Structure 1
Amino acid sequence: MTGRPNVLVIQADQFRWDCFGAAGNPDVETPALDSLAADGVLYTEAFCPLPVCTPSRYSLLSGRTVHQHGGWTNRSTLAPGIDTFPRALRRAGYRTSAVGKMHFTPTYLDVGYDCMVLAEQHGPGRYDDDYHRDLRAAGLAPVVDLLDQEEHLRGSAAPAYWTTYGTGRSDLPEAWHSTTWIGERARHELDAWTDDGGQLLHVSFIKPHHPFDPPAPWDERYDPDALTVLPGWTEAIPDQDQRYGNEYFGYEGLTEAALRTAMAHYYATIGQLDHQVGLLLDRLRDRGLYDDTLVVFTSDHGEYLGFHHLLLKNGPMYDPLAKVPLVVKFPGTRASRRDTSLVSLIDVAPTVLAAAGLVPADPLPGRDLADPSQSRACVFAENRHGPAAFMARTATHKLLAYDDPALDAFYDLAADPCELDNRIADPACEELIGELRDALANWVLFDTPPPVHLDERAPTIDAPNVPPRDPARHAEHRHWFAARATESAAHPDFAPWRG
């Protein structure tokens, strides 16, 4: 083994924890992730700290909870003075790079990466990043993605977009799809690795985040009628979730047939992602670097995918949303083990630092996943989308506490794994509910969350691919993509959504 292990962090976006083969999914084909799990540890009870992209990503990088780092929304900046594992590795002499979706403000925010090659999706980053500059140079626009993600363009989408819940074939060829673009540039970064260790690469895919738009031929990979509907699907939105029935789409009209079509395309985007992961791991093996590399695969949050008749991610912190896939292959070992202990994405930073032989600059609340002596009885999460919400979850029970106590919920997961029987008012549960409320109170002070930290002028990396901070350039770039999207959407032959 080399003196210092390499680190490869592979991150997906909106990846439901049970949607790959090693996690028990009966339909989706993920040979690369299954192989990685066979060489490492599959954590079956891993949770994100907040089920929104940027806050969760800042927690993964910093090893801190969201109420500690203050990045509450997708439009926030990691506050100065908060250390990250990329910064710590860079100080220790590591070569650090990132490829794909980071979702920072500003786009090329310096969190410790020497090099960043970005492919963004939501917000201003789309009009700064490398991917969209490459698309524009080729005369291409990701129309399906623009119509789904840009609020001012959604009205241009055809009726089929709404009835299929935005699921269909990408208008881009596979070679230009974000998953392929990210995978190719990540392999280019791996090709620059030397044989003496001390390198970090963070690869972050946009998918399987909506829209569920795999390119051809991936979009035909799964027959919707042959798929197994996942646990938790209900024929209608339960009364407890009615207030979320019109988030992003109107889910009251979601039929099982429409859900199956969404699942087929969601699985296809996962299959395409898995293919690119396989190419990355093969590149490590071909270079003789695989065994000496710490490999982490995870996601920033989950996806309902029909749970309680919902799609996407706006709603309560039920397990399909709060749980994430987590596989860790430690350097020098091939464990092939399932770990059912409660873990969190805040554990990734201390795990990476420990593998590199480094000590955090400040104490972190997470734990080194390689140390079996460390464990927790309860895992926590929080959310600021809508009413403030907090989750305290043990191996068998879950408390969801809101700033409006009338919304509170308590579930006995052993008897009710689909979280349909709210027992918050059950006298038999009063003692356990009180214990979880106390645990939450000890975890965070409810009435003093830090404000969202946003600094569009924060330091960015110094690299030739970082565009100047020019509002006129940004606006012109945005206008070009909007014009292409509306023009394409109005064309009678543009029909990417399949019913």
Structure 2
Amino acid sequence: MSGAPGRPNVLLIQADQFRWDCLGSAGHPDVRTPHLDRLAADGVRYPDAYCPLPICTPSRYSLLSGLYPHQHGGWTNHCTLAPGLDTFPRALRRAGYRTAGVGKMHFTPTYLDVGYDRLTLAEQHGPGRYDDDYHRELRAAGLAPVLDLLDQEEHLRPLAPASYWASYGTGRSDLPEEWHSTTWIGERALDELAGWSDAADGEGRLLHVSFIKPHHPFDPPAPWDELYDPAALTLPPGWTERVPAADLPHESGYFDYGDGLDEPVLRRVLAHYYATITQLDHQVGRLLDRLHDQGLYDDTLIIFTADHGEYLGFHHLLLKNGPMYDPLVKVPLLVKFPTPPGTGRAGAPARPPARRGETSGALVSLVDLAPTIVSVCGAGPLTTSPPAPGLDLSDPAADRACVFAENRTFGPMVMARTRTHKLLLNGDQEGGRDGARDALFDLAADPQELDNRIDDPGSAEVLGELRAALTRWALFDTPVPTCLDEDAPRVHAPNVPPADPARRAEHRAYFDAQVRRAAPAPTAPIEP
């Protein structure tokens, strides 16, 4: 199978729960990301990029399909991208690309066929961890990620010691670095890149590398856990000493964010969250170095992004369950476009000029990545009907006046955001989830989103404009119900286990036993 001459390769690197501003290139005062910074220096950084729904699976399906959740029907972490929807991996595979994914995909079923020839998976939440390659290898090595299991598996959380709750799921990983998910994913991605040197002339390759981290628990392995001194860190903008009254309906999420989340605890969270980012950055550097060593870097479209952000103390909140404030709904986005083809590249698709070290002022969304990738690769438009709504970011003029997001986890919630204002609607003018009110923020005057101007007569005009924008955004779309098909087509490959409930249950029982054996009594602390 061979693609067109001069067709660029694609390396898509995705993180989970990565705040948009946790990059040296974004001006962060503490976190160290030298390799992502050099990627930014070679490409375009989009500081105003947003996810369409700040939950893992829905956001990932939007990235793949170029559709919003109300169009693709992936509303929860346990849902299926309908096989009839086109994706950029499918479009590239039709065009002759060889396609592969490594790491966390969060699909249902676990090895769902979305256009990848093969998947090598490391999952974290739900049944995927009892199907994937990573946990099969951990079991064969006699290992178990105890802290991760205590944090992620609801039936095991009662076994968590008091120190887990007091630290908000922060601590050193119980796995050695070589078995930590970040290292494991990086190694398997390097194995995939090694095969790129064997590609036939003009044969395109796509690799999607998806890291679990810095998603909670915040558990870097040694020696990464000692990288940052909590006392030396700068508190993030938007940190408040207590949960604001408007956010009290959201204070009891995955943890209770009341009196226990004080400044010393937050500093420890920051230190370990940043450590997982720097460890991830190290693996990104290895991938970039491999492309350089193989002479493929210049001619590869490289994208780094995340599925959603992280509050990290914003409004005294952690993680992601709550309003679509910027730290949650914004994502990092770096795009290194391939170098335009030189002489002797007859038949190569047209490409944009190289854009090095550029910071774009555009409002962009993860729905823009699918149309961008197929455009740069000359793979034709996605076949979705109606057409995917995203922008082609290879056009330097690509921009929009307003960006949108949505969520149905706690009832209908939508966001409309311009460069200066944000409107959050909770589905009930009198109060949404547990009394949460609709909100309008003047971001120029109030970047920390603390002053709700929804009732301000002076804001009536901009409120009307944003409501109208939301209406136009979904005017012709009837929201698609959640799609769930446990029997949807899966990737056909030797590493894909049979869909056998007994096998999955036995695998789960093994890890449950390891946790019960390793976990101390609930009143005892976990040793650091």
Question: For the superposition of Structure 1 and Structure 2, which TM-score range results when normalised by the shorter chain?
Answer: over 0.9
Equivalent runs, 1:240-251 vs 2, <5 Å: 240-251=246-257
Q: Which residues in structure 2 correspond to 1:343-358 (within 5 Å)?
A: 343-358=364-379
Say whether residues 1:292 and 2:322 are aligned partners. no
1:73-101 CA-partner distances (Å, limit 9, x unpaired): 00000012100000000011100000000
Work out whether residues 161 and 526 of structure 2, in 8 Å CA contact, stay in contact via their aligned partners in 1.
no
What corresponds to 1:125 in structure 2?
128
Counterpart position of 2:208:
202
Amino acid at match of 1:132: H
**1:478 is the counterpart of 2:481:** no
**Cα distance in 2 between the residues matched to 1:214 and 1:129:** 21
Q: 1:413 to 1:357 in 2, by over 3 A?
A: same
Q: What is the Cα deviation at residue 265 of structure 1? A: 0.1
Are 2:65 and 1:62 aligned? yes
The residue that corresponds to 2:186 in the other structure is: 183
The match for 2:486 among 426, 451, 456 is: 456
Shift in CA distance, 491/245, structure 1 to aligned 2, threshold 3 Å:
closer
CA contact (8 A) 1:218 1:272 kept: yes
Q: Secondary structure at the match of 1:17?
A: coil
2:9 matches 1:6: yes
Instruction: Provide the residue aligned with 1:395 in structure 2.
Output: 419
1:294·1:330 contact (CA, 8 Å) conserved in 2?
Answer: yes
- 1:339 aligned onto 2:360: yes
**Once the two structures are superposed, what CA deviation does each residue of 1:369-394 show, in whole Å capped at 9, x if it has no partner?**
11123321000000112131100000
From 399, 421, 443, the equivalent of 2:451 is 421
Q: Runs of 5+ in structure 1 lacking a partner?
A: none
Separation of aligned partners in 2, 1:38 and 1:303: 25
- Contact conserved, 1:164 with 1:497, CA < 8 A, in 2? no
Residue deviations 1:27-80 (CA, integer Å, cap 9, x gap): 011100000000000001000000000000000000111101000000000012
After superposition, residues 274-313 of structure 1 pair within 5 angstroms as 274-313=281-320
Contact persistence 1:397–1:412 (CA under 8 A): yes
Aligned positions of 1:17-416 closer than 5 A = 17-193=20-196, 194=198, 196=201, 197-253=203-259, 254-332=261-339, 333-360=354-381, 361-362=383-384, 363-406=387-430, 407-416=437-446
TM-score (structure 1 length as normaliser)? 0.98
CA distance in 1, matches of 2:462, 2:82: 36
**TM-superposed deviation, 1:490:** 2.6
Deviations 1:223-269 (A, max 9, x none): 00000011000000000100111101110021011000000000000
Residues 423-442 of structure 1: matches in 2 within 5 Å?
A: 423-442=453-472
Q: Which amino acid aligns with 1:263?
A: L
**Structure 1 211/446 Cα, relative in aligned 2: closer, same or farther at 3 Å?**
farther
Aligned-residue offset at 1:449: 2.3
Match of 1:267, as an amino acid?
Answer: Y
Q: Which amino acid aligns with 2:401?
A: A
| Aligned mates of 1:175, 1:259 — CA distance in 2 | 28
Q: Which amino acid aligns with 2:175?
A: L
On the 8 A contact 1:166/1:497 being kept in 2, the answer is no
Corresponding letter in the other structure for 2:474:
V
Distance 1:208 1:73 in 2: 20
CA distance in 2: counterparts of 1:446 and 1:311, whole angstroms: 36
Q: For the Cα contact (< 8 Å) 1:235–1:309, is it kept in 2?
A: yes
CA contact (8 A) 1:488 1:494 kept: no
Does the aligned pair in 1 maintain the 2:83–2:489 contact within 8 Å?
Answer: no
The answer (yes or no) to whether the contact 2:162–2:523 under 8 Å persists in 1 is no
Contact 1:170 1:496 in 2 (8 A): no
- Paired residue secondary structure (1:201): strand
Residue identity matched to 2:205: Q
The 2-side partners of 1:211 and 1:386 are apart by 23
Tell me if the contact between 1:61 and 1:84 (Cα under 8 Å) persists in the aligned partners: yes
Flag the 1:497–1:432 CA change in 2: closer, same or farther, 3 A: farther
Q: Distance in 2 between matches of 1:496 and 1:413?
A: 42
Q: Is the 8 A contact 2:161 2:522 kept in 1?
A: no
Change in 2 beyond 3 A, CA 1:393/1:497: farther
SS of residue paired to 1:192? helix
Contact kept? 1:144, 1:496, Cα under 8 Å: no
| Root mean square deviation, CA, Å | 1.6
Report the alpha carbon displacement of residue 448 of structure 1 after superposing the two structures with TM.
4.4
Task: Check whether the contact 2:87–2:115 (CA below 8 A) recurs between aligned residues.
Answer: yes
- Is contact 2:146-2:514 (8 Å) kept? yes
- Measured after TM superposition, the shift of residue 364 of structure 1 is 1.5
TM-score, L = length of structure 2: 0.92
Greater CA deviation, 353-362 or 307-316?
Answer: 353-362
Deviations 1:376-427 (A, max 9, x none): 1000000112131100000010000121113210000000000000000000
Corresponding letter in the other structure for 1:237: V
Contact 1:171 1:496 in 2 (8 A): no
Alpha carbons 1:102, 1:118 under 8 Å: kept: yes
Aligned residues: 498
Distance in 2, matches of 1:171 and 1:486, equals 14
Between the aligned residues of both structures, percent identity stands at 69
Quote how far apart the aligned CAs of 1:493 are: 13
Separation in 1 of the partners of 2:468 and 2:126? Answer: 38
